[in-house]
Structure 1
Amino acid sequence: MTIPPVASGFALPPLTSPVRTLGAHTIDFSARIAVMAIVNRTPDSFFDRGRTFALDQAIDAALAATSAGADLVDIGGVKFAPGAEVSAADELDRVLPVVEGVAAQSDVVISIDTFRPEVAEACIGAGASVVNDTTGLQNPALAELAASTGATLVITHSLARPRTAYVAPRYDDVVQSVVAFLRERVDLAMSLGLDETQIIIDPGHDLNKNTRHSLEITRRFDEIARIGLPAIAAVSNKDFVGEALGAGRDDRVDGSLAAATACALLGARIVRMHDVARSVQAMRMTETILGLREPQHLRHNMTDENA
């Protein structure tokens, strides 16, 4: 028996260019919510705290995320928050072998989390196809690099210079400010040669924002999505989840899944998550609720006898 598509009560904002080619994969973001796994090869990341700092552990984590259903793997070598200086050479030493190792064993979409063009360029050469810039394109050379290589660029809302503090952030309306910022940076990127089909946006939960700001972005994510480009909800284990629940660093998975699902129901098309297996399950269920996919099975109460 074929079940006709059912309209969802969630009116998803339309995408101007939903079908994207990322590495060896084509993803139709009008029909799929992608899961981006997080692999930090850093000794001081806010959540992992060095768990995947060793090279073999980082590669294994990326491959395990792929096996668990991740659509993208985001590899980073320098945390966003202020801390000890990490040179470009040291950052490259951390991330390039991971990109090479993953690319040699999988065709998963590899994203490189960096604000440095020289690091991004080397990683693109090794197999990465996405550059995740959490600094809001403060270095326009990243857009020029993406334009010349065909890579996809993630443009994120953040205000501080890379790895510097931004004390007590204030916004008249945080969502309006984020939307205006992202629109301006998208225009900048396109003026530097990037096609809109190479751009993904991220409102930057917790980045130069307090918990109330991040919650407001979550509940009004549809306003971010109305920009018309695939939008990332990078909410996993962040402080706004912990502060909302009074939960410690290791007890934020359920809250993170709830936040990611809320954003997806309002138009997020990528969720950046630590717990890949549970996130994949949550996003497949969200897609089904939205009417973007059919149930895997139709058995319950589908016969003349109650099951």
Structure 2
Amino acid sequence: MATDLRATPKRSDLSLANLPKEYRSFEIVHWLSIDPYGNLILPLHITIYTLMMFASAILVQNSQNIGGKTKCIRSCHKRGDGKRPRASTSSSSTHSDLSPTPQSVLKKGRTLRDEIEQEFGEMEQLPSKLDMLCKKFDERFDQLAKDIGGLGRNHESQLRGVKIAIKALAGERRSRNLIVLGVPEFKNQQTGRDDIPSSLKYLGEEMKLNAMDMDYDDCFRMGRFSTHAAKPRPILIKFVRTRDKQQFWQQRFALKGTKGITIRPDQPQEIRAAESILYKKYLEEKSYDHSLRSFFSRGAIHITKDKAVIRKYGINDQGQPTQIA
């Protein structure tokens, strides 16, 4: 006996025993359940899907019935006998093809079930994938932090080496320079500029040497000229050879008793400031003992008495003089 799928089942008929044979396969039973009263319980998505299939089948059949009646009326009008033509076999076969069968419903149900199971499977794998991605991100971040730290240490070491090289280069460049203070300024009457040869000639006469015969790369006054300056500007002499510089430096003792002419080596500002602080410390001790003498060596001042070093002072981190061993 054929089952009418369009018929509305009663509640008493919705038991597993009253199901047609086509619905008793393993696939459909897998989705069904029975309540304690023996009634059939359908999941919500299966119920909605089945109702939609039944509704579409009813709509298709109604449309075919209406189309068949329209064709019958037209053919009757054409013949004029008012009789309806017989239904063709092709139309009935088409109607049977469009009607949903239990097998097609089960196939679509299995497809829907597989898609849902696949989605749930992917959702279950999502936390593990996220954990794996987070772990990889943490590992890469830690490696990046190590690389950045190593890069910083490497750059710091390279920068320290560059600073040392620059300081050594600057010291080498200044090692042949001398600064002379207290030499009167002479002006060229034609150009109005500094007359350096006249200044060197005056200095040579005071030092009892011919300064004009020494080879120097450059010689100039430091700073701008001012008529209101109380003292003449210092002269920077850049010697070509260290031998000439040493000869000039040894003759500085001949300036003793002159009108405030002094010679000192060309040093960076921080070294000159440190030596100034140390020299004040020496003058403080000399005020108690006039027999003391001093000289600078390796950033420290050596205080001597009877040609023997008795004390040495250097500069600490606070910029104050401190006695060293």
**Shorter-normalised TM range:** under 0.3
Larger radius of gyration: 2
Q: Which protein is richer in helix relative to its size?
A: 2
Q: TM-score, structure 1 length as denominator?
A: 0.20
- Structure with the bigger RCO (C-alpha within 8 Å, sep 6+) is 1
